[in-house]
Structure 1
Amino acid sequence: MSASDHRSPDDAARRIEQLRAAIRRHDRLYFVEHAPEISDVEYDRLMRELRDLEAAHPQLVTLDSPTQRVGERPLEGFVHVRHAVPMLSIDNTYSPGELREFDARVRKLLGGEPYAYVVDPKIDGVAVSLRYEDGRLVQGATRGDGETGDDVTQNLRVIRSIPLSLLGAGWPRVLEVRGEVYWPRSAFDRHNAERIARGEEPFKNPRNATAGTLKQLDARDVEPRGLAFQCHGLGQIEPVIADAPTHTAVFARLREWGLPTSPHQRLCRDIAAVIAFVEEWSTQRRALDYETDGLVVKIDSLVQRERLGTTAKSPRWCIAFKYAAEQAPTRLLSVDFQVGKLGTITPVANLEPVELAGTTVRRASLHNFDYVREKDLHVGDLVTVEKAGEIIPQVVAVDVSQRPADAARVEPPTACPACGGTVVQDEGGVYLRCVNPECPAQIVEKLKFFCGRGQMDIEGLGEAIIERLHEAGLVRTYGDLFRLSEARDRIEKLVFEQQRESSGAMRTIRVEFGSVRTDKLLRGLEAARRRPLSRLLAALNIRHVGATTAEDLAAHFGDLDALAAADEARLQEVEGVGPEVAASVREYFTSEAGRRVVEELRAVGVNFAEPRRAAAGGGGPLAGKTIVVTGTLTRYTRGEIEQLIKDLGGKAASSVSRKTDYVVAGEAAGSKLDKARELGVTVLSEDEFERMVGPRS
């Protein structure tokens, strides 16, 4: 029995608060300031003592405890949340002259009064908004379309540089900060090395991998990846911080409260100082442990920002300076022709290896055959390759004067390079397509798309594994994926080739897939079998049906059979579905191939239903009710409970008034709870709310 078991509740509570404060401080020192004061062993000892105490006194566990970063249950999907203050995009500029033009507009709008700029590195990550109420993190959401984003609170909680509770005191009741989640290069490279060692496909770049990581349904898959966060902007703040009238003053407070901000932020008194920083930073940025493609220039005064205002898309007080894409010369060795999931054939350049933007480039996009003709590309040409951020390298120029005598013109294929089938050209001559529905390359690409993030999101089934399973004859159709458990022995014995570094050289080794990876793959498939209809629709590769349209169709019809039976008129009743989309959906479900897919997926037990939602004002148990949620909840994130309120016919409001019907109050509810009591609004606990709405399906 540990010593923690003998403490009185009061002693345990005091020690728990001491441990939490110490761990939060050390988290900040390690993950934000990069200046640890204790060893990993000492840190683990503090965390272990806290876990033991909380296990012995479960009534003292709170949601913002350092032990509670990872939730117990994976999510079934993400809910949409509306940003209290829109997350607008930022206009770009590419030259000192354009920066001066921006400055001239600002000077004119401000009528000649003095102003200053604050400049930050532009991290190439995923924009998110963090909402703190009474010092506790209650919600984190992606930018989305700027008005609404996905609630990813559960995944953001496991990022150690994001505090679950703010440090110190004096923070406003509501504090929203905006920033970038990113994958540090060092952590990204380590993770990719581990993936390669396990026989998995490495991620292509940190930015796209970060976006995919934030859409994982189980936060336990996010935590070990080592993502980081850095603040760069502000959202809703209530009440305003009266003695912090500038961006730099507010950010000094954010640092005091434990939020990570850029150590490279610079205050510039005029545009000349901004341009000098731009020039200075052009080389310094390469030493950072994260991807960056420029700087963000903002007016420092918050009052002046209000006066400058915004356009429909972007603020007038802010602009991004983006550095020119890096370029390098190299030789075009050959051209491959790749076949996509719809049969489109794309030319890809094979190049002499060249160092560019911190990576070795061996292949580059040639876009399409119109582009190849325009550049008059020949194998053997000296070409210029360009790479910017996460953008795929591309050939942008040809030096014809350096063309070898034996250079051969790049000609489009006359037959499909994968199956030898017939190819057809579009009217403009830009694209070639293979029209063979049994083309193996198309089959593999469709399987990759079906299994990918944003579609069925099958854990453990990367692109290289799909290719090997297809090559072994184990999968040809979507239904085959869900029958793989019947071929477990064959999967375990599949041999994969891996690249390993040895004595400074890369060598190829052959390894079996094995039982551990097979277990992970089969678990991923079983989870995918239960995905909601909206994810299945997005995965079916129906022309014009992306994730948003799939969600709208699934919510409207509720199950796949009802959708498949709908005619074009009924399909167009769905908001956002016009004649072209309706015709495409109808064509898919009435085609022999589409019907075959549906019946095969039915036979293997794939879910065809979407959780039914009651329309606001309809017949749900909260129909016509206005509900405000406040405080920290234990069973829901803020986005989840607000979405549930909407699904059950109610309206989720952000402030309490005489029109409010109920306030759902969690831990540390604060001023909204006080106002509800003052106005006589009915206050519900989480238990009372759940009894009112009934159990969740």
Structure 2
Amino acid sequence: MEKEVAKHRVEQLHALINKYNYEYHTLDDPSVPDSEYDKLMKELIAIEEKFPELKTPDSPSQRVGGAVLDAFQKVQHKTPMLSLGNAFNEEDLRDFDRRVRQAVGDVDYNVELKIDGLAVSLRYENGVFVRGATRGDGTTGEDISENLKTIRNIPLKMNRDLSIEVRGEAFMPKRSFEQLNKVRIEREEEPFANPRNAAAGSLRQLDPKIAAKRNLDIFVYSIAELDEMGVETQNEGLDFLDELGFKTNHERKKCSTIEEVIVFIEELKTKRADLSYEIDGIVIKVNSLHQQEELGFTAKSPRWAIAYKFPAEEVVTTLLDIELSVGRTGAVTPTAILEPVKVAGTTVQRASLHNEDLIKEKDIRLFDKVVIKKAGDIIPEVVNVLIDQRNGEEKEFNMPEECPECGSKLVRIEEEVALRCINPECPAQIREGLIHFVSRQAMNIEGLGERVIAQLFRESLVHTVADLYKLSKDQLINLERMGEKSSDNLLQSIEKSKENSLERLLFGLGIRFIGAKAAKTLAQHFETLDRLQQASKEEFIEVDEIGEKMADALVTYFQKEEMLNLLAELKQLGVNTEYKGPKKIKVEDSDSYFAGKTIVLTGKLNELSRNDAKAEIEALGGKVTGSVSKKTDLVIAGEAAGSKLAKASELNIEVWDEKRMISELKK
């Protein structure tokens, strides 16, 4: 490569890596997989090694991390939280081993799992937890203490009265991730792409109550100044952290040679899928602290440690069939049925195809050789087709004209991608509708999971949601895995759900385009199901945040005779049909200062939770939004208010503290 060509490529790499770095570290919304980022960084480093004069102070290869968000108070780390150099194969590991041994002689390595989460520091004074922060740019992070306190295995007081700063990786276990995404889908919210993004998003919530519900976890792996603790090796340091009451990862090993390290990595590749959390590699550290000190640091990483990154999770297999499933709203979704193939230690037999347009765009055919990609807990997807491996036996796939569950004619609604079954008696839609009705965000009937609903439906014990309130103990006790106690608990949960406020019932009915937030808005505005049923399209559109599509869907739903009969039956069975939350006063009827005003809450509130403050303001006719703009009338600033407070000042918007807000709420 000539120097001029290299210079141009370096400029391209700077722009790309900076973009991806910002998305990953600052936005927590990466647009490319880690493997692509790592490939570009490796290319940049190789060019800079060949042409040292092209290595500039602002090169991404010299950076520790990304920019810091302004939403939280900034925190200076006692010692920098540096990133690690990467190894992608055995050759890279042997090169690292050779450099280390040339510098300090014989070494032992402590080999640990690289948890796919969010790096954090925890500060303790005299044994008491005083502050927790994100890594940020390595030197300056964000104070997320209140959110970290919600992680139960972070001790608020250590077993010894020491003043130290420890480092760890906060993460979301696989099970928590699956439960969170299930709830988000039920709420018609976008699911998180992977556990790492979910953990990062949880720890950056301004309301600690949200983080508390996410069931996060942590592994602590070092003390900022470990040599001051009287230990001599990394392995002893981890044992010392255990003694202090921290949770460390015991899937670790001391190795005397790089060969032992490579064997450990191969073992972990096979065990990876069985772990209860995601890992994206293995960290290899020189065990001796004295030798670590002797090896020192480069500008961006320690010379005594390296991270082995697992290869991209892509494999080739054969597409045997395309299976169709019908969802609650009638949307027909294709799924690839594959010849079983091992990916990251798990056997994959199914992969997402999303919709008919994707199948046509990629020209996916039955019996094609296809590339399957699986990253962490993301559902496997078909990346592309190996067209050059076709042998003439492949068959084009066409979506059916009839519903695979009930045989009704499928339709494609204008401006929509999915084909839909519009038969209200379609068994699949009824079954999925029942599952939605009992979900946590809807009627929240504990014990009525998908398995039980499927059994009840299969045994013809339920057909509509009203049938759930007619179930008897004799019917339940005969179900698979349903004993006397489970039956009693389920019946109590069903009975308790009758007391729910109207918005839960409204969301549970599964009306098209009506998510949990819209259901709450409608329930608060109309207050009773009777008034909702009688409302016109124009009356629906008058409600804040209810658009024309929502209004049309509501009118259509409440005009159907079978739906009116269902609602009447639910009332007769004792299901509450009235709103039980704080009443919302119409702007014209309110004499409150908040009436008709657009208000933003920012920073930490001490007297009220943010949700409670929002509910009270909205009940007085105010509108609470999430961002500051020229349309904002007032900003309520709690402790550690960040960029929103600065924006309010820039736009000359009035700012109150929490005390003044509470005073006005009490008037």
Q: Alignment partner for residue 612 of structure 1, among 582, 585, 592?
A: 582
What are the superposed Cα offsets for residues 188-218 of structure 1, whole Å, 9 maximum, x if unpaired?
99x9xxxxxxxxxxxxx9959x99xx9xxxx
Asked if the contact 1:416–1:434 (Cα under 8 Å) also holds between the matched residues in 2, the reply is: yes
- 2-structure distance, mates of 1:612, 1:521: 29
- After TM superposition, the structure 1 = structure 2 runs for residues 308-387 of structure 1, keeping only pairs within 5 Å, are 326-387=313-374
Whichever residue aligns with residue 508 of structure 2, its letter is A
Asked if the contact 2:115–2:169 (Cα under 8 Å) also holds between the matched residues in 1, the reply is: no
Q: CA deviation at 1:261?
A: 8.3
Segment drifting more, 368-377 vs 434-443: 368-377
Q: CA deviation at 1:345?
A: 1.8
Q: CA deviation at 1:434?
A: 1.9
- 2-structure distance, mates of 1:518, 1:114: 56
Q: Which runs of 5+ in 2 are unaligned?
A: 1-24, 46-53, 66-79, 85-112, 133-143, 180-192, 203-208, 222-237, 252-263, 282-307, 623-634, 641-657
Q: In the alignment, which residue of structure 1 is the partner of 2:509?
A: 540
Q: In the alignment, which residue of structure 2 is the partner of 1:520?
A: 489
Asked if 1:555 corresponds to 2:497, the answer is: no
Q: CA deviation at 1:581?
A: 2.4
Asked if the contact 1:182–1:206 (Cα under 8 Å) also holds between the matched residues in 2, the reply is: no
Q: CA deviation at 1:446?
A: 1.2
- After TM superposition, the structure 1 = structure 2 runs for residues 105-254 of structure 1, keeping only pairs within 5 Å, are 107-108=57-58, 118-119=82-83, 160-163=152-155, 180=170, 182-183=172-173, 228-229=217-218
Asked if the contact 1:646–1:652 (Cα under 8 Å) also holds between the matched residues in 2, the reply is: no
What are the superposed Cα offsets for residues 606-648 of structure 1, whole Å, 9 maximum, x if unpaired?
2332311567996899999x9x9999xxxx9966876787688
Compute the TM-score of the two structures, normalised by the length of structure 2: 0.53
Asked if the contact 1:470–1:476 (Cα under 8 Å) also holds between the matched residues in 2, the reply is: yes
Distance 1:616 1:575, change over 3 A: closer
Asked if the contact 2:502–2:528 (Cα under 8 Å) also holds between the matched residues in 1, the reply is: yes
Q: In the alignment, which residue of structure 1 is the partner of 2:448?
A: 461
Asked if the contact 1:354–1:360 (Cα under 8 Å) also holds between the matched residues in 2, the reply is: yes
What's the Cα RMSD here? 6.1
Q: Alignment partner for residue 473 of structure 2, among 468, 474, 488?
A: 488
Asked if the contact 1:616–1:646 (Cα under 8 Å) also holds between the matched residues in 2, the reply is: no
Percent of aligned positions that are identical: 33
- 1-structure distance, mates of 2:557, 2:56: 53
What are the superposed Cα offsets for residues 293-338 of structure 1, whole Å, 9 maximum, x if unpaired?
759xxxxxxxxxxxxxxxxxxxxxxxxx998751222222323221
- 1-structure distance, mates of 2:500, 2:120: 25
Q: CA deviation at 1:99?
A: 4.4
Q: Alignment partner for residue 28 of structure 2, among 76, 86, 89?
A: 89
Whichever residue aligns with residue 350 of structure 1, its letter is I
Q: CA deviation at 1:462?
A: 1.6
- 2-structure distance, mates of 1:408, 1:101: 41
* Secondary structure of the structure 2 residue equivalent to 1:95: helix
* Secondary structure of the structure 1 residue equivalent to 2:333: strand
Asked if the contact 2:168–2:218 (Cα under 8 Å) also holds between the matched residues in 1, the reply is: no
What are the superposed Cα offsets for residues 636-686 of structure 1, whole Å, 9 maximum, x if unpaired?
996687678768879986459xxxxxxxxxxxxxxxxxxxxxxxx99xxxx
Whichever residue aligns with residue 453 of structure 1, its letter is R
- 2-structure distance, mates of 1:419, 1:482: 26
- 1-structure distance, mates of 2:441, 2:120: 18
Q: Alignment partner for residue 499 of structure 2, among 530, 539, 543?
A: 530
* Secondary structure of the structure 2 residue equivalent to 1:466: helix
- 2-structure distance, mates of 1:257, 1:105: 43
Asked if 1:603 corresponds to 2:576, the answer is: no
- 1-structure distance, mates of 2:575, 2:474: 23
Q: Which runs of 5+ in 1 are unaligned?
A: 1-85, 140-148, 192-204, 233-251, 265-279, 296-320, 497-511, 657-680, 683-688
Asked if 1:578 corresponds to 2:547, the answer is: yes
Asked if the contact 1:126–1:182 (Cα under 8 Å) also holds between the matched residues in 2, the reply is: no
What are the superposed Cα offsets for residues 336-391 of structure 1, whole Å, 9 maximum, x if unpaired?
22111122222222222211133211222222223333444443333222212222
Compute the TM-score of the two structures, normalised by the length of structure 1: 0.51
Q: CA deviation at 1:475?
A: 0.8
Asked if the contact 1:544–1:581 (Cα under 8 Å) also holds between the matched residues in 2, the reply is: yes
- 1-structure distance, mates of 2:615, 2:605: 15
* Secondary structure of the structure 2 residue equivalent to 1:372: helix
Whichever residue aligns with residue 543 of structure 1, its letter is R
Q: In the alignment, which residue of structure 2 is the partner of 1:566?
A: 535
Whichever residue aligns with residue 612 of structure 1, its letter is P
Count residues in correspondence. 461
- 2-structure distance, mates of 1:258, 1:128: 17
Asked if the contact 1:344–1:434 (Cα under 8 Å) also holds between the matched residues in 2, the reply is: yes
